[in-house]
A and B are shown apart, each in its own frame.
Chain A
């Protein structure tokens, strides 16, 4: 038994998405309270893009780094929801069961019971699902209430409690889920053979806004179902009316056209029946409705008495079936021969709506036989599983490359450290720094003294210093000569010449002193600049030493990283092997299901082929024994 749900909820796991929609609202209402909340937001960002693996990982990293605070039980509910979306139902169950603790707020427990009920429902365990639903408080919080009502409705439908389901539908008439409830209730009445009760529910869907493709799809589905319900209820004109409302470009139009024809046949109007069937016969033979139309056309001609035309159409049908069987055999061979994921274009990067995917002819035409298979939850579950496994395989490959890179990076750091050690040994940086520091201290003391004593002679250059020395020496010599003349009466030079010489020396010395005073500030500035240069050299040498020391110090921390990389690489290897094996098994399971459907299609075609051939033989016998009527040209329509 099946139940129709909103199209966006394409997977049973992400069916909980609607329920989880309340979460961002909670997240928005409460301002972020800790830095870990950023990861919470990042997890949501990934989740809303269907990146479930990344979303789960982000939450787990946040948990490992101290957890998410300030949002009550929401992160756990989120983790449960993410787990379900990622196909980890056991893990999700464990989380939700933990949330049922009596100490948790009622709101949390209601959510947990709801999710558990949902999971049990998805597993087809109706009784357990109802038990879980019964634990939810009478008035669940407003985000949850419509979801609870939806699940109660589905359970009532599944257990054939139509009155209860109708009551829930009435109480939720304005819910966005109401159109789906109407369809499902109509389908449930149909299954019970209560066609007159079913039809009004399908008709309700004529009032849909019909703006989105999802609503249009639901509308087509409802009109087709209403048509068949009316047909089985022997309301043939009404059935034709419903079938006519299905859009011709709808995926359901083949089914509706076939039904239209049979409703016309039931009214005895074979001419009318030919219109939709001939339209169907021009379409590709890739579904059971177009295949059936090929034999339905000659059936109508035969009923109208046009046996030659019927014979011709049966021959056309025979040729069509033979061609289709040949193509189908080829497809079966291909599916057996190569990887199923290539045949089905399964790639984790695409977030595929399988129906659209098939309809857009991205699959080879014969694989559109699989449209009904794509609509089956177990098949979609396998596809999702394979896609998730492929995503893990991709990620593991990326990690393998990264780990190789990180190992190389650590090797490089190690080599760098060895080089620096070598530099340290060669340049004896410690000695160099000590020497520079002594030089610097002496120079700094000298500069300080020169400034404090304003010792301008201490800053004269070498030439001036030599010149000054010579002047001082000459002055001493003159004084000696003068003392010799005065004390001993020995005149080496005439006193006038000595005085002239003395005056000359005094002038030169005065000039020199004046120049030294004049140049003092500039020379002192130069000395300070030199001191600053020395400081810079010293600090550069210290930085080099510091850098080397840091590398040396950090070098000792490389080992734990190496160990972590080695452990991870080992785990990657083991898990990659398991993943590869699981992918193989998953592909085989998918392949078996695909082959089964294709073989069933082949059997169906062979059955039609046999019927066509029998009819040809029968008609040939009759043609020999009686004259035939010519058929009028069929009027087209739809």
Chain B
């Protein structure tokens, strides 16, 4: 009786896990529906792109636009937990980082923390950074940058780096110019 019921090794290899891939079945996936979905995705992406550009033009005109990005080249001495961004002593953005977001940044990803408007002139940008160092030691640091806003869009990158010399994280701002 059991031979009829016995599960073949091939079936065992197919697995109950999502890891198992029935690649031959991919052919089924190349159905007219899939092709239609790909076309829809392409159209949606283009529309999304145009809408994002329109939104940026409407809400953040070039002469007042400021964007603050965060990048991290850390892992040994720092794990980012939260950032609060102040412009001229006003809180404009804050973010709590998940493990996935930390990992994304450590692998080369850059987060756009803030996109807003700023009048021309001098402004003080301050980032209050909270995180954990070796042995889960808590770190609270502030990094400040004095910005002279002109008529061009301002792109500011806050870099968080491991310092092997001090075995602590370092924070620095880099202002980008449009080319």
Q: Which residues of A line the B interface, CB within 8 A? A: 1-7, 9-10, 12, 15, 21, 23-25, 27-28, 32, 34-35, 38, 40-42, 44-49, 53, 56-57, 60-61, 64-65, 86-91, 121-124, 158, 183-184, 186-187, 190-191, 195, 198, 217-218, 221, 224-225, 228-229, 231-232, 251-252, 255, 258-259, 262, 265, 292, 296, 299, 353-355, 371-372, 374-378, 380-382, 385, 388-389, 392, 395-396, 399, 402-403, 406, 409, 561, 564-565, 568, 571-572, 575, 578-579, 582, 585-586, 589
A88 CA / B42 CA spacing, docked (Å):
8
Give 1 or 0 for each of B165-179: 1 = CB within 8 Å of chain A CB: 000000000001111
- A-contacting residues, B15-64, CB 8 Å: 15-30, 33-38, 40-55, 57-58
B96 located at the interface, meaning its Cβ lies under 8 Å from any Cβ of chain A in the complex: no
CB distance from B160 to the nearest CB of A (A): 13
Instruction: Give every chain A residue within 8 A of B104 (Cβ-Cβ).
Output: 44-49
A218 CA / B20 CA spacing, docked (Å):
11
Instruction: Beyond A45-B110, A190-B13, A575-B40, list 16 extra A-B contacts (CB 8 Å).
Output: A2-B20, A10-B19, A12-B21, A38-B69, A40-B110, A44-B104, A53-B48, A57-B48, A61-B49, A89-B38, A124-B26, A221-B17, A258-B7, A299-B1, A375-B20, A377-B22
The 11 sampled A-B contact pairs (Cβ below 8 Å) are: A1-B10, A2-B15, A4-B13, A35-B177, A38-B69, A53-B48, A122-B23, A124-B27, A224-B12, A232-B9, A375-B14
CB distance from B64 to the nearest CB of A (A): 13
Contact check, A354 vs B18: say whether CB atoms are below 8 A apart.
yes
B126 located at the interface, meaning its Cβ lies under 8 Å from any Cβ of chain A in the complex: no
B112 located at the interface, meaning its Cβ lies under 8 Å from any Cβ of chain A in the complex: yes
Instruction: Give every chain B residue within 8 A of A28 (Cβ-Cβ).
Output: 73, 108
B144 located at the interface, meaning its Cβ lies under 8 Å from any Cβ of chain A in the complex: no
A565 CA / B59 CA spacing, docked (Å):
13
CB distance from A348 to the nearest CB of B (A): 13
A406's partner among B5, B9, B47, B55 (CB-CB below 8 A) is B55
B111 located at the interface, meaning its Cβ lies under 8 Å from any Cβ of chain A in the complex: yes
A466 CA / B69 CA spacing, docked (Å):
72
CB distance from B40 to the nearest CB of A (A): 6
B109 located at the interface, meaning its Cβ lies under 8 Å from any Cβ of chain A in the complex: yes
Contact check, A221 vs B15: say whether CB atoms are below 8 A apart.
yes
Contact check, B40 vs A41: say whether CB atoms are below 8 A apart.
no
Contact check, B23 vs A392: say whether CB atoms are below 8 A apart.
no
Instruction: Give every chain A residue within 8 A of B58 (Cβ-Cβ).
Output: 406, 409, 561
Instruction: Give every chain B residue within 8 A of A225 (Cβ-Cβ).
Output: 9, 12-13
Instruction: Give every chain A residue within 8 A of B21 (Cβ-Cβ).
Output: 2-5, 12, 15, 377
Instruction: Give every chain A residue within 8 A of B105 (Cβ-Cβ).
Output: 45
Contact check, A378 vs B18: say whether CB atoms are below 8 A apart.
no
B107 located at the interface, meaning its Cβ lies under 8 Å from any Cβ of chain A in the complex: yes
A148 CA / B7 CA spacing, docked (Å):
33
Q: Which residues of B line the A interface, CB within 8 A? A: 1-2, 5-10, 12-30, 33-38, 40-55, 57-58, 67, 69, 71, 73, 100-101, 103-105, 107-112, 155, 157, 176-179
A6 CA / B112 CA spacing, docked (Å):
32
Given contacts A4-B20, A48-B107, A217-B17, contact A61 B44 (CB under 8 A): no
Instruction: Give every chain B residue within 8 A of A218 (Cβ-Cβ).
Output: 19
Contact check, B17 vs A251: say whether CB atoms are below 8 A apart.
yes
CB distance from A598 to the nearest CB of B (A): 17
CB distance from A319 to the nearest CB of B (A): 21
A221 CA / B94 CA spacing, docked (Å):
45
A295 CA / B37 CA spacing, docked (Å):
46
A584 CA / B54 CA spacing, docked (Å):
30
Instruction: Give every chain A residue within 8 A of B50 (Cβ-Cβ).
Output: 564, 568
CB distance from A224 to the nearest CB of B (A): 5
Contact check, B27 vs A385: say whether CB atoms are below 8 A apart.
no
Instruction: Give every chain B residue within 8 A of A575 (Cβ-Cβ).
Output: 40, 43-44, 47
Instruction: Give every chain B residue within 8 A of A86 (Cβ-Cβ).
Output: 41
Instruction: Give every chain B residue within 8 A of A262 (Cβ-Cβ).
Output: 2, 6
Contact check, A44 vs B2: say whether CB atoms are below 8 A apart.
no
A42's partner among B5, B26, B45, B112 (CB-CB below 8 A) is B112
Instruction: Give every chain B residue within 8 A of A402 (Cβ-Cβ).
Output: 51, 55
Contact check, B40 vs A24: say whether CB atoms are below 8 A apart.
no
Instruction: Give every chain A residue within 8 A of B17 (Cβ-Cβ).
Output: 4, 7, 217, 221, 251, 355, 375
CB distance from B42 to the nearest CB of A (A): 6
Instruction: Give every chain A residue within 8 A of B25 (Cβ-Cβ).
Output: 376-378
Contact check, A565 vs B49: say whether CB atoms are below 8 A apart.
no
Given contacts A375-B16, A585-B33, contact A42 B69 (CB under 8 A): yes
A561 CA / B178 CA spacing, docked (Å):
24
Given contacts A381-B29, A392-B41, contact A229 B9 (CB under 8 A): yes
Q: Select from chain A the residue with minimum beta-carbon distance to B98.
A: A49
Instruction: Give every chain B residue within 8 A of A42 (Cβ-Cβ).
Output: 69, 109-112
A354 CA / B18 CA spacing, docked (Å):
7
A2 CA / B26 CA spacing, docked (Å):
12
CB distance from B72 to the nearest CB of A (A): 10
CB distance from A70 to the nearest CB of B (A): 11
Instruction: Give every chain B residue within 8 A of A572 (Cβ-Cβ).
Output: 47
Instruction: Give every chain A residue within 8 A of B100 (Cβ-Cβ).
Output: 48-49
Instruction: Give every chain A residue within 8 A of B22 (Cβ-Cβ).
Output: 2, 375-378
Instruction: Give every chain B residue within 8 A of A195 (Cβ-Cβ).
Output: 9
B111's partner among A6, A45, A87, A396 (CB-CB below 8 A) is A45
Contact check, B44 vs A91: say whether CB atoms are below 8 A apart.
no
Contact check, A91 vs B47: say whether CB atoms are below 8 A apart.
no
A1 CA / B176 CA spacing, docked (Å):
53
CB distance from B69 to the nearest CB of A (A): 5
Q: Select from chain B the residue with minimum beta-carbon distance to A218.
A: B19
Contact check, A44 vs B49: say whether CB atoms are below 8 A apart.
no
Instruction: Give every chain B residue within 8 A of A91 (Cβ-Cβ).
Output: 38, 42
CB distance from B170 to the nearest CB of A (A): 16
Instruction: Give every chain A residue within 8 A of B14 (Cβ-Cβ).
Output: 2, 372, 375
Most buried by A among B2, B23, B50: B23
A44 CA / B108 CA spacing, docked (Å):
7
Q: Select from chain B the residue with minimum beta-carbon distance to A9.
A: B19
Contact check, B12 vs A221: say whether CB atoms are below 8 A apart.
yes
Instruction: Give every chain A residue within 8 A of B112 (Cβ-Cβ).
Output: 38, 42
A60 CA / B7 CA spacing, docked (Å):
49
Contact check, B49 vs A64: say whether CB atoms are below 8 A apart.
yes
Contact check, A389 vs B40: say whether CB atoms are below 8 A apart.
yes
CB distance from B102 to the nearest CB of A (A): 10
Contact check, A56 vs B26: say whether CB atoms are below 8 A apart.
no
Instruction: Give every chain B residue within 8 A of A265 (Cβ-Cβ).
Output: 2
CB distance from A563 to the nearest CB of B (A): 10
Instruction: Give every chain A residue within 8 A of B103 (Cβ-Cβ).
Output: 48
